[in-house]
Each structure stands twice: as structure tokens, then as C-alpha cells.
Amino acid sequence: MGDEVEKAFLEFIEKRHAKNVVIVTGTPISNVKKQLPDSILRTGITFFASMGHEQWQWEKDKLKKVQDLKVNDQLKNDRRLLRDLKILINNRYPAFPVCTLQPVKDWESAIDEARPGMLTFLAVRRPRGDYEESDYLKARETYFDWDKKQEQRIKFANYLMQRHSTKYVISVSGKTSIDITPIDSQKDQVLKASMFSQNEQDLKLILIADETKPDGNDYSLASAILKLGGNIISVQSPADTLQILRQ
């Protein structure tokens, strides 16, 4: 996060009060700590990590887990699903474009199992051991630009949905990921958390998100918020987000 965005985010939180600002992400809390500076983590805003399965908040000198929502880990033992993932990741399906920019070494390394209640396919994964963060971020951007033209992740997700739609939702996420979650464990589950249910009648929700289309991992939350009379602000770039934060 750049200094300009960090400053705007902190001013946004101060203006709207930390208790009213929530971040919902598909990424595990370990990645949140890497992506956000301490100045934002320490504000007291609430984080729902791993598709909302875990609720975290800063207490004293660290992020502390406040609540675990229902976790359904059945997909990690679903042999049919894992077999289909292996076929896709090993580029054995000729109808799909093959990215040779930064291929994963093997199919197991492309699956992130550190996220409770979900599986995530990562087209570009953080290297193990010593590496330059700038090289990793450049690889992500390179894949993202390629994928916007080739739509590899959308095609992967559609293929998996055709075969597993009765049990899972498969959605494009971020710049390099595909999220696979049980039907009843989407981002909209965060609205069942006590911080929302206790004040349901007074809720005035505004969602700022980039994956609000049906194939995106913000879609379920966006749909639920609209049903509650809330508003959705779709962004397509960090510049869009910065503009919203400054309003």
C-alpha cells in the first residue's frame, strides 16, 4: 500500500469511525498483515478473513481472533474436485489458454490450504525462502495483465462450476486467484456476525468492492447488502478506490 492510499484510508476511518469500517477478504489473516501497514491494523477496524470465516480485530498490541464463523472443510477431501483442479493446473485441458509467464511447478503448490473453509487456486504464489517482494508483485501484475486478455481464470471457474455447482461456488478473486467455497459459506456470511445482527434494523451498509459481478467473489455480499437496502460502489483499480476514500 502506497503512502497516498494509506493516508487517505486513515482519514476515511477517522471520519467514519473505526467501529463502522469492515474489511472482508478471501485472503488469510497472514496475508492481511503483509498487505496492510500497522497504522491501519491498529485503528480498531474489523477484519473478516478467509472469505469471512474468521473475524479479527486489534487488541492491545496484536490482531486477535474475535469469532469463528461456521467452517465447512469438506471440499479439502473432495476427490472429484481435487482431480479436476489437478487437470486444470497441469494444463491438460486444451480448450484453455496456457500461461507460461510464471507457471506453478506442480498442482499441489498452486493450492493454498491455509484458508479455513475454502480452497484457493493461485496462478502466482509467493516463493518459499528468500525472495524480493518487488519481483513477486511484478509477477502478479504480469499474470493479471495476461489474464485480462485470455480470461484463463474465468474459463477455469466456469468449467469447475459446470461440474460442481450443486456443492460449491467458484469465483475469480483478486489478481491471481480462484476461490472455491461451499455454497453456504460465501462472503455474505459475515452479515450473520453479532456486530451486524445486533443492529440489523439500523444498518446502512455501503460496500466498496471490485468483484461484484456473478463470477466474482464479492457477488454474494453485494447481493445481500442490496437486499438490505444498502449501496454498492464498484471499483476497478487502486485509483478508483483512492478517489472513493477521499470523498
User: How does pLDDT run across 44-85, given as a tens digit for each residue?
Assistant: 999 999 888 889 999 888 899 887 776 666 777 888 988 888
Q: Please check whether residue 124 is in contact with residue 143, taking contact to mean a CB–CB distance below 8 angstroms.
A: yes
Look at residue 104 and tell me whether its pLDDT is greater than 80: no
The pLDDT value recorded for residue 103 is 47
79 shares a domain with 66: no
**Mean pLDDT score across all residues of the chain:** 82
- Rounded CA gap, 183 and 147, in Å? 26
Question: Would you say 212 and 218 are in contact if contact means Cβ atoms under 8 Å apart?
Answer: yes
The reply to whether 116 and 215 lie within a common domain is: no
> Is residue 189 very low, low, confident or very high in pLDDT (cuts 50, 70, 90)?
confident
pLDDT at 207: 94
- 158: number of Cβ within 10 Å: 13
Q: What is the domain count for the chain?
A: 2
What pLDDT, in 10s, does the model give residues 161-173?
A: 999 999 998 888 8
Q: Which of 133, 151, 182 is the last residue of a domain?
A: 182
pLDDT at 135 over 90: no
DSSP state of 246: T
Q: Are residues 167 and 204 in the same domain?
A: no
Provide the sign of the torsion angle of the four alpha carbons 202, 207, 213, 217, taken in this order: negative
What is the pLDDT averaged over residues 132-140? 82
Residue 29 sits in a domain whose CATH number is 3.40.50.1000
Based on the fold, state whether residues 109 and 164 are members of the same structural domain.
yes
Confidence category of residue 179, pLDDT binned at 50, 70, 90: confident
Residue 39 confidence (pLDDT): 93
For the cut 70, the answer to whether the pLDDT of residue 221 exceeds it is: yes
Mean pLDDT of the 111-127 span:
76
Tell me the residue range of the domain where 35 lies: 3-70+185-245
